[in-house]
Structure 1
C-alpha cells in the first residue's frame, strides 16, 4: 500500500476508533450507599472516596508547606508590572481607563513561604488572637493567597467576601462572623472605612498596595479604635517578631465562604480543611499530568470556591500561578491599551478556569472578528470549522491527521493566540456551558474543556468531565472524593425509574460535603442529612440525569420550575441556557408565573449585533437605549429567540411570547448577577418589576 496513503488514512481510522472508544468508556459505577431510595454513583477507579492526595497532607497549610519544600526554586506567584495608566475618550463622550502592563514578575515557592511566615507572625504581633476571625475582601491577586496561608499557619478561620458584594451583604457578613481583622486591597479599603460605624467588631484593617501605588493619606477617616496598616508593614513587623506556628487539623474550619447568593442576604458556608483537601485530592487525580511545566492563569474571584479550589490544587502540584483580571485578560480586553498585551498573551498559560459567560464572550468575539473580515477569511474559517466539527463528532470524513494540522496552521493558530497559544486544557464551572461554546473551544482553541459541577456547600467537588470525553452538555462522573445520588423529584415529574435515563434531584455525599451554614441551623438541617452509615449528604436542589456510562447531566433546577396557568411546566434555567446562544443576546432572564399561560423574557442585547441589524435595515436611532425600545428591534430579537428555541427542541409554551430589551449590562457591581455571573433572579425581578408587569399587560 502507498505509504503516502497510509500517512493520511491511518490517523483517520485511529482517530475515529478513539472517538468510538471514548464515547463508550465506563466512567462511573452504580453503588448502594445509605438506605434512602435512589441511584448512587462513584468514580469507577476508586472503591471509596479519596480524602487526601498523599499521606500527611491533612490541611490546606500542609499542602502549601509541603509544595514549598518540594519545589523551593520553582516559580510560584506572578504579577504584572503596571507601566502606564491613562484615560481615553470614547465615541459617546465617556472616558475609560486604559492600562499598559509589563511582563510578569515572579516569586518562587521558597520566597512565598517566607512571606507567609512573616505575614502570619505580623498579624499576631498586631494583636489578632486565637479564636478571632480574619476576612479577606479583595480582588484576586498574589497577596490574597499569601494572606490566606498566613492565617492558616496560626489556625485562624478566614471569612471570604466577594469584592463585588453590596454594602448590606458586606456588613451582614462581617458582623455575623464577628470579624476583627479585615485584609483588603486599597480600592476595597475605602468601602470598609466608609462603613466603619456599622461594623461592630472590626479592630484592624490591613491594606494591599500595588507596586506603583504610594502610601497616600487616607481619604476617609477610620474609627479612632481601628488600626490601619499596610500589607508590607505587617510583613516587616512579622520579620522582626517571628512567632511559632499553631497549625490547624483537618476538622478545623478553614474558610467561612459567603456565597453571592441569588436571593436575600448571603449565607456563610463552613468549610473545613479536610473538606477542601478532599476536593483537591479528587480533582488532582482527574487532571492528567498536572505539574511543574504548567502555568495557570488566575483571574476569577478567589472568594469563589471554584477559583480557590483550583489555585490550591495548582499549588499542591508545583504549578506556577500568574495573576490577571477579566478586564485585562486578552489583547482586546476593555482596560488594555491598544497595541499592548493582555494577560493571556504575556503569560502563555497551559491551564485556566473559566465560567461559561466568559467563554461565551470569547466565542462571540472571535465570530464577530471573522464576520467583520468576510471574504476568503470567513470562507476558510467556515470550512475549517465544519471539517473539524465533523471529526470531533466522530465522522470518518472530518478533518483528521494532516488535514487537521493544515487547518490549525491556516486558521486556528491565530485564534489560539487569543489565550496565549499554549493552553492544553480548561475547566468550566459555575453554570451550565452550552454545547455550541464547548465545541467552539474544542475546535478553535484545540483543547479539551472539562466541565465541573459542584457547589460552595461541597467545596466545588462533585463531578468533573474527563478530558478524553468529547461529548457535550455533560459534567462528567463523580470525582474520586465523593458520591453522587439521584432521588425522585415529584414536583417536577423527575424519577429514578424514568426511561431511557434515571432522573432526579442531585444529592452529594462524602468528605467534600461541608458541616453547614454559619449561625443558620434551620437551613443546615433542611439541606444537609446524615445517613445511618454516618455519611453526610447535601441536597442540591438541582435536577440531573445519569447517562449509561455514569456521567451526569444537569437538566433543571427545582426553584426554576414554574407551572403555567394551563398546567405546563417551564424550566426557566433550561430555556435561558438554550436562548443565550442567540447572536443578539448578551444575557437573558426568563420569567413566568401561574397566573398566565405564557412566559416572557428580559434581554440584554449584544450592542454590536443589534446595531448591525439596524444599519442593515436602515433604522435610524439616537442611542443604543433608543434602539432597544424600537418595535423592529424587539421583533427581530424575539424571532431569533424562537428560531434558536426550536433548534434546541423547546416547546412553544417554553418560548418567550414577549421580550423587553435592556441597554445596560448586568454586572456583579449592580447586584443583578453573582460574581460567577449567574442571574440573581429575585433582584432582577424587583428591579424590573414594572417592565415585567407591562409585558403581561
Structure 2
C-alpha cells in the first residue's frame, strides 16, 4: 500500500504519498555508509571478492558462433580498474591537460560508446576511481545522435569498440573537440571477437593509427592504457556524493536529446531504493538494454548490494534467447515490446497450439492460475513438470523475477509470463531524470495493470491538469500529472538552465506523465501529457493511452495512433503480429498462399482488421471519438525500419513517425473526413 501523508493536500495538488514501509520519506540507516558508486563497488568487492562478476561469451572466429560465458572475478575487476584508472590519469595528463576545466579543478568527462559489454563497466568503475564522470553514447540510435552527445557534453576522450573508430574519424570535422580515442578491442586484433573480424592488424593497428595521427587524435587500445597504469600507478581520487557520476541523455521522443546530470547521490539513492524494495542477492543478470541510459545501469547498481553476476549479451537481438540459455539468468530486465514477442512465441507453442498439445496446455494454464490465486504459490508440481518447465527452459530455466519498464505491459502478457515461467512479473516506472527509479510493484503482488507504489525514499503527488481534463479531486480516483521528490531526481540539464526550470515545480520533478491513484493505493499510468490532442469535437484524446489498449489485441504487434485538431477520428499505422495475423488474413482474403506484404495491402483485410479493432474498442469501453476511423497496415516493425523511428528502448519517436508516414496519414485523414 501507499502511505498517504496526512494534511498535505494543497489547492491543485493531491496529498503526498510514500512507501508504506518508509513513512518518514527516507531510506532509514541501512547502507547509509555507501554514498558513491565507487563505494558501492568497494562494498561489492568486500561482499564477493572471488565470485564471478563480469561475463562474456567466448567467440569462435571459425564459424561465428558463441560458446559458454567466461568470467572475471570481482577481485580481477578491481585490479583492472586500478591499472586502467591509473592509465587514464596519464592519458589526461599528457593529452588533455590544456582542455577546458583541466586546470581549475572541474571534473573531466569520458565518453563510452558501444554495445553492452564488460568494457563498459570496467570503464565506468575506472572513470569513477579518479573523480571523472562518464558520458554514455548509445550504440543503436545513429551517428547523428553520437555526434550530438559528443559535442554537447564536450568530451575529449572516448572509449569505444573498434568498429566505431572509422566513423568517428570520418566525422571528426563535426566533433572537433575529440582528442583521444581508446579502443575496447586490441588494435592488433590478437583477441578475436565479433567486432575484430572485420579488421586485421594492418587495417586497425597501422592504418587507423596513421589516420588518427593525421587528424591530431591519439589512438590507444584499453590494454595499452592498462600497461601505462601498471607501469606507473597513481593515487585514486574517489568522488564525493555531490560530484557528477553520469551524463545520460534523454531518449529523444519529444525532440533533441538533453544531457541529464546525475550525481553519485542520485545514482546511489536510486539503486538503494530499489534494493530496499526487492532485497535480491546472488543475482545473475543478462545485460542487453543500452548502458547509455539509466534503466540497466541502475539495475546493475541495485544488484551489487546483494552480489551479482553480470553476463553481457552478444549484442544481437536475434541471439537473445541463446544468450539466456547460456547464462541462465535469475532476473530478466525487459521492455514490453520484447516481452510481447516472447509471449507470442510461447503462446503459439502452448495454449495457442492445436491438437492435444494445445488442449493440455490450456488445461494446465487455467489450473495453475487458479492454484496461484488460491495459494499464492508460483510453482505447481504437476503442471510445471508436464508443461511449464519446458517453457521456462527456453529462457534459461532459472528466472525468478521479470522487471518491466519503459511502457505499459498488457495484463494478459503479465499473467501469462508469471504463470508459464513461475516467476514474479513486476512493472515499474521511472525516467532518465530519476535514474529510472520512482515506482514499482512489490514482490508477491500478482496483480497487473498498474506500476506499483512509491519506492523507499520517494515522495509523489499529483498536479491537476484541468486543460486536459485530469483533476486531483476526480472520483473515484485522483488523476493528474505525476510529481516526484527524491534524492534520485537529477541535478540539471547540462547547459540548459531554462529546460531545467521547466522540468521542476519548486523541489518537485514534473514528470509530464498523467497517472491515477487507485483505491488500492497503486498507481496506474494513463499517458504522456504532451501527447494529448484536442480533436474537432472538443474532446482531448491521448493517442498513447489508446495505443496501449489497441495493442492488446492478438492480431496487433504494435501500432501508432495519430489524432489531429481538424478531424474527429483517430487513424493508425498498424504493425500486425505475423504469427496471428497471417493465417487470419489469408482466410479473410481467401488467398491461402499470399505473402504478408500482399495481405497488408489487401482492401478486404484492411477493412476486416479495422472492424475487428473497433469491436475491441467497444469491449474496452472506448468512446466513439476514441474508435479508429481508418488504418494503414505496415508489414515491417517500426524498429526494423532503421531510420530513427524508435529510441534505444524501442519507444516510438512520435514526431519522426508522423514525418515518415506523412503521406499515409494524410490519406487516412482524407478517408475519414472532417465531420
Deviations 1:22-44 (A, max 9, x none): xxxx3433355696732210111
Aligned 1:249-288 pairs, distance under 5 A: 249-288=240-279
Deviates more, 1:411-420 or 1:626-635: 626-635
Task: Give the paired residue count.
Answer: 640
Mapping for residues 220-239 of structure 1, pairs under 5 Å:
221-222=211-212, 224-239=215-230
Which residue of the partner structure matches residue 635 of structure 2? 663
- Structure 2 length as normaliser, TM-score? 0.90
Q: 1:311 aligns with which of 292, 300, 312?
A: 300
Deviation string 1:609-646 (CA, Å, 9 cap, x unpaired) is 33323444532777533332111231233233223323
Which is worse superposed, 677-686 or 495-504? 495-504
Shift of 1:253: 0.8
Q: Which residue pairs with 1:645 in the alignment?
A: 617
1:91-118: CA deviations, max 9, x gaps?
xxxxxxxx52111111111111111111
Moved more, 365-374 or 653-662: 365-374
Q: Which residue of 1 aligns with 2:343?
A: 363
1:84 shift after superposition: 4.9
Deviations 1:571-601 (A, max 9, x none): 1111101111223222200000110010000
Which whole-Å CA distance do the structure 2 matches of 1:237 and 1:401 have between them? 55
Aligned counterpart in structure 1 of residue 552 of structure 2, from 567, 581, 598 = 581
State the partner residue of 1:447. Answer: 423
Q: Identify the residue that residue 50 of structure 1 maps to in structure 2.
A: 27
Q: Is the Cα contact below 8 Å between 2:570 and 2:628 reproduced in 1?
A: yes
For residue 147 of structure 1, report the CA deviation from its aligned partner.
0.2
Q: 1:385 and 1:620, CA in 2 relative to 1: closer, same or farther beyond 3 A?
A: closer
**Unpaired runs of at least 5, structure 1:** 1-25, 87-98, 329-333, 531-535
**What is the aligned partner in structure 2 of residue 78 from structure 1?**
55
Deviates more, 1:512-521 or 1:623-632: 623-632
Find the aligned partners of 1:84 and 1:31 in 2 and give their Cα distance. 64
Matched, 1:608 2:579: yes
CA distance 1:413–1:621, change in 2 (3 Å): closer
Q: Which residue of structure 2 aligns with residue 489 of structure 1?
A: 465
Bigger drift between 360-369 and 213-222 goes to: 213-222
The normalised TM-score by structure 1 is: 0.87
User: Which residue of 448, 455, 469 corresponds with 2:445?
Assistant: 469
- Could you tell which deviates more after superposition, 614-623 or 348-357? 614-623
SS at match of 1:179: coil
CA contact (8 A) 1:28 1:551 kept: no
Contact 1:160 1:303 in 2 (8 A): yes
Q: Displacement of 1:570 after TM fit?
A: 1.7
Are the counterparts in 1 of residues 472 and 479 from structure 2 also a CA contact under 8 Å?
A: yes
| Equivalences for residues 403-552 of structure 1 within 5 A | 404-530=380-506, 536-552=507-523
Deviation at 1:56, TM superposition (A): 2.4
Residue of structure 1 in register with 2:281 after alignment? 291
Aligned equivalents of 1:681 and 1:391: distance in 2? Answer: 42
What are the Cα deviations for residues 216-246 of structure 1, in whole angstroms up to 9, with x where unaligned? 3247633521011212222222211211111
Is the deviation greater in 296-305 or in 144-153?
Answer: 296-305
- Aligned match of 1:680: 653
2:673 matched to which residue of 1?
none
User: Is 2:19 the counterpart of 1:30?
Assistant: no
Q: Would the aligned equivalents of 1:52 and 1:277 in 2 still touch at CA under 8 Å? A: no
Counterpart of 2:359 in structure 1 is 379
Helix, strand or coil: the match of 1:672?
A: coil
Residue pairs, 1:176-187, within 5 angstroms: 176-187=152-163
Q: Deviations over 1:304-334 (max 9, x none)?
A: 2110100111223221111115635xxxxx3
Quick check: 1:28–1:549 contact (8 Å CA) kept in 2? Answer: no
> What's the offset of the Cα at 1:465?
0.6
d(CA) in 2 for partners of 1:653, 1:34: 34
In the alignment, structure 1 residue 106 sits paired with structure 2 residue 86: no
Structure 2 equivalent of residue 200 of structure 1: 176
Deviation of 1:391 after TM superposition, in Å, equals 4.2
Note if contact 1:153-1:248 (Cα within 8 Å) is conserved in structure 2.
yes
Distance 1:615 1:29, change over 3 A: same
Post-superposition shift, 1:481?
Answer: 2.0
User: Are the equivalent residues in 2 in contact too, given 1:184–1:208 (CA < 8 A)?
Assistant: yes
Per-residue displacement from partner, 1:485-508 (whole Å, max 9, x unpaired)? Answer: 111111221111111111111000
Q: What is the aligned partner in structure 2 of residue 11 from structure 1?
A: none
Q: 1:51 to 1:241 in 2, by over 3 A?
A: farther
| Whole-angstrom CA distance in 2 between matches of 1:543 and 1:387 | 37
Determine helix, strand or coil for the equivalent of 1:125. Answer: helix
Secondary structure in 1 aligned to 2:453? coil
- Cα distance in 2 for residues equivalent to 1:402 and 1:305: 30
Secondary structure of 2:394's counterpart equals helix
Matched, 1:118 2:83: yes
The answer (yes or no) to whether the contact 2:606–2:632 under 8 Å persists in 1 is yes
Give the aligned partner of residue 567 of structure 2.
596
**CA distances 1:360-401 after superposition (whole Å, capped 9, x unpaired):** 111011122337751111011112222233444x4x6xx988
- Structural RMSD (CA): 2.3
